[in-house]
Every structure is written in structure tokens, then in C-alpha cells.
Structure 1
């Protein structure tokens, strides 16, 4: 049996200048959303506390918060287990993201300086160069993430950014699977270029259309992947 407590500990950096309950919460949450702890696995409070040399209180607090977020479930006389992210969850997340991505992108478009547009363009050029070699897929995926993060940064909407970051994390491992396929990466890169041009030309309608198409295509792939995994294929 794999050591799932070790996976949580790997994500729990107690050297951070943050309250311990926040550190523990972030560590367990990241281990769950990245798929390091399988669905149905029980999170053992006592063992986790002993191996981290901390009390069980911050762990309990973290699990209560994760239960409210829908990532874990408490089963009487058994303990807290990791819940499955359902297809319905994914559909809801994408519906919210479509609306929020449009808002952030249009807001960024109206605020961005020439230097920021140049920065975004150079990022796309770099992504294109790395993707042509078809050797460092992880780097391409990382650059895609930076593109999205830059738009939210330039939108200057910190609260909206925080909400979307959490939503994106839920489906991170499925998104990364989708982008390992060469054709999908090329299409996603082309869509990023179209989003950039729409922003540069201040074309709100094009932005709305491309973002909706971009996320709809990603949603279809991820839903299909989730169905495969839930059916054990």
C-alpha cells in the first residue's frame, strides 16, 4: 500500500510564515487535488499528527474546511475520506470559469500597457518555440499556465483571481493529461494567440467567442477523461 501520509507531508511545508492550520489545510488540499491521494482513501489524523510532530487540532480544522469545500467526506465510525470530483462538479466549474475568464480578460485588455502586451506576445512566441520541439511537454504546460496567470495579473482583480485559481486547481491533473496530446497543445496555443489578438484589438466579442470555444473544448476532453477513470478504463 502506498504511503499517502507521506504525500500529504510532501505538500506541507511548516517552515512557511503562515499559521499552522493554514499550512496543514493547504498541504492536504494540494495532495487531494493533484490526485496524490486516491478517491476513498481515509486520511488518518493520528498518524499524520505523529509523523508531523504536531497536534491533531490543525488537522481536524483542515479536514472540516475541506469537507465544506466538498473535497472530503466524514463517515461515522470510519473517518474522513477523499471524495470524487464528479462530472457534475466539473461542468459547474467550467460554467463559472467561462464567465469569470471573460470578465478578467476584458478587464486586463482595458488596463494593459504596451509593455505588458509585448510581454504576453513574447510568452506566446516562447511557447510556440518550445512546443515545436515536442520534447518538453511539461514546459509547454507550464507556459500555458503562465499565460493564464498573466491575464489575471493584468486584470488587477485579486478577489476574482483567487476564486478562479481555486477552481482551476480542482481539475489541474485532468487538464495536464489533456495537454500531453500534441494536437490539443497546438489547438490550445492557437486559441491563446487568438485571445491575445482579440485583447490587442480591443475586440470584446472575439474574446467572448474564443474563450467560450477554448474552455468548451477543454471541458469535453476532461469530461471524457473523467468518465474513463470512473469506469476504470
Structure 2
């Protein structure tokens, strides 16, 4: 069990998310071996938190496919498959490209104002937790006006888990994402749905490649 995890307790409302981010990063970086049992009491002691946020974090990690909760054994680390990551990001790049292209023509001025507000929030924070939440909202808003329900359902499934957490995993990701978000916003503001869609697709592909390289 790794003893190098650390966590600053700041906001109890997001404590399980902070715990989840620490554990997710440790799993993806190989601090925990595939098949290793994550013992709640040891994690709670290592992170200096109660067992409640540990339990909540492990349930979220199970939904992401990073751990498996087994009766009488607790949480077991699942093998991390690089091919799974490649598949997720390639699918996201293609499906979100289509959704953005369908959505952008119908985005309202209010939508664009909200996009700009979210973009400024990401630019003005150094807190990865704040960035992640604004980043999720930014990407969701880009496809808000897409009316293809099945397409949106597929995208939502792909969003479950670590794809949205790369700012906590990759050095320099926040700064680079901000630059790419600015380009995306300019294309959206110009009502250029084709360019907007292509930029979003390239943004997702670049992030996926960076994540794979960091884990290789």
C-alpha cells in the first residue's frame, strides 16, 4: 500500500472527489498493482480522512472501471488497459465532433456567454478541481443543442471516469487546454460549426495521446 498519498482537507462537500482524484491518479500511475486490494482503513489512515469519503470514492472508481468491489474482499484494482484508453478517446473525438457540428448552429447568445464565463473561470484558476468542473460544463454546453438523443447518450457513457480528470493527471494540461478552448470558442462565436467540431476533435485526440504517453 502506497504511503505517499497526501490530501489537503479544504471543503468537506468535495472531500470524496478529492479522495477519488488522489486514488485515481495513484491507480493510473501504477502506485497500486492490478489485483491489489484497497483496504479502506489503510487508505483512511494514509489520507487522514474518515472511511465515508473513502467508500464514496471507491464506488465512483468502480463506476469508472478502475476498481471492482467484491463481497468480503472490498475494492480490487482492475488491470489498466492502454487500448481501452485509446478506444475511449478515439470514440469521443469522433462522436463529440458530430455532436458539436449539430449543436453549434443552434447555440444561443446566452449559451455563448456562458461558454465565455466558463472559459474565463478555467483561465483564472490554479485549482484542478475547479478546472475539472468548469471543463465538464464547457464540453457539455458545446453539445447542448444537439438533438440526437442516442448520440448524446453514447457520449455521456464515454465521459464516465477519468477522461474528464486529465487536468489532475497531466502536467501542463490546464494551460494547453485553455489555449485550445479559446480557439474553440472563437470558432463557435463565428458560427463556424465545421471548424468548431474539428477543433474539439483535435483537442480530445491530443489529450488522449498525452494520457497514453504519460502511462506508457
Deviation (angstroms), 1:100: 0.8
Q: State the match for 1:168 in structure 2.
A: 159
Q: 2:71 aligns with which of 10, 35, 45?
A: 45
Relative to 1, partners in 2 of residues 1:47 and 1:9: Cα closer, same or farther, differing over 3 Å?
farther
Q: State the match for 2:175 in structure 1.
A: 186
What is the distance in 2 between the residues matched to 1:84 and 1:207?
36
Deviation (angstroms), 1:218: 0.5
What is the distance in 1 between the residues matched to 2:86 and 2:195?
23
Q: Are residues 1:87 and 2:87 paired?
A: no
Query: For this pair of structures, how many residues does the alignment match?
Result: 171
Deviation (angstroms), 1:173: 7.4
Q: Are residues 1:10 and 2:43 paired?
A: no
Q: 2:124 aligns with which of 125, 129, 138?
A: 129
Q: State the match for 2:8 in structure 1.
A: none
What is the distance in 2 between the residues matched to 1:92 and 1:100?
12
Deviation (angstroms), 1:87: 1.1
For the pair shown, which has the larger CA radius of gyration, 1 or 2? Answer: 1
Q: Are residues 1:148 and 2:139 paired?
A: yes
Relative to 1, partners in 2 of residues 1:166 and 1:120: Cα closer, same or farther, differing over 3 Å?
same
Deviation (angstroms), 1:217: 1.6
Runs of at least 5 residues in structure 2 that lack an aligned partner in the other structure: 2-37, 42-50
Give 3-state SS (helix, strand or coil) of 1:155's partner. Answer: coil
Deviation (angstroms), 1:35: 7.7
Contact map agreement 1:100 1:160 (CA 8 A) in 2: yes
Contact map agreement 2:65 2:161 (CA 8 A) in 1: no
Matches within 5 A, 1:52-131: 83-130=78-125
TM-score, with length taken from structure 2: 0.65
Q: State the match for 1:17 in structure 2.
A: none
Matches within 5 A, 1:28-43: 28=59, 30-32=60-62, 37=67, 43=69
TM-score, with length taken from structure 1: 0.60
Relative to 1, partners in 2 of residues 1:114 and 1:91: Cα closer, same or farther, differing over 3 Å?
same
Give 3-state SS (helix, strand or coil) of 2:124's partner. Answer: helix
Runs of at least 5 residues in structure 1 that lack an aligned partner in the other structure: 13-26, 49-79, 228-233
